[in-house]
């Protein structure tokens, strides 16, 4: 079970009913509940799993640009 910090209990708790989610930026997060008070807990994972995706590479490489030049334009 993943652990998270419950703001209501002000203590570290196990996250129950944990569901792994992928956020828009490609990072993984754990969403679940506090076993004591039931408050929704959300833990963003360190991004270690997303390292292989290399989000920085896609931002600096304008891949679509050269491809668009090769398109046959109807004249
Ligand atoms: Zn709690």
**Nearby residues of 47 by Cβ (< 8 Å), 6 or more positions away:** 27, 28
Neighbours of ion ligand 1 (CB under 5 A): 6, 8-9, 34, 36-37
pLDDT in tens, 19-75: 999 989 888 999 999 999 999 999 988 665 444 544 554 455 565 666 556 667 777
Nearest residue to 33 (alpha-carbon basis) of 46, 25, 43, 24: 43
Q: Say if 68 falls within a structural domain.
A: no
* Span from the CA of 26 to the centroid of ligand 1 (angstroms): 28
* Span from the CA of 32 to the centroid of ligand 1 (angstroms): 11
The reported pLDDT for the residue numbered 75 is: 72
* Span from the CA of 47 to the centroid of ligand 1 (angstroms): 25
The number of domains in the chain is 1
Where in the sequence is the domain holding 39, given as residue range(s)?
Answer: 3-52
Q: Say if 38 falls within a structural domain.
A: yes
Mean pLDDT on 16-20: 95
Looking at the DSSP assignment, which residues form a beta bridge with residue 31? 19, 42
Residue 6: how many CB atoms within 10 A of its CB?
A: 21
Q: Say if 69 falls within a structural domain.
A: no
Q: Say if 70 falls within a structural domain.
A: no
Q: Say if 36 falls within a structural domain.
A: yes
Q: Say if 30 falls within a structural domain.
A: yes
């Amino acid at each position: 079970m993943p652990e998270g910090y419950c703001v209501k209990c002000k203590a570290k708790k196990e996250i129950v009913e944990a569901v792994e989610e992928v956020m828009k930026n490609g990072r993984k997060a754990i969403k679940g509940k506090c076993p004591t008070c039931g408050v929704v807990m959300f833990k963003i994972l360190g991004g270690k799993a997303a390292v292989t995706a290399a989000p920085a590479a896609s931002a600096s490489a304008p891949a679509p640009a050269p491809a668009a030049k090769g398109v046959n334009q109807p004249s």
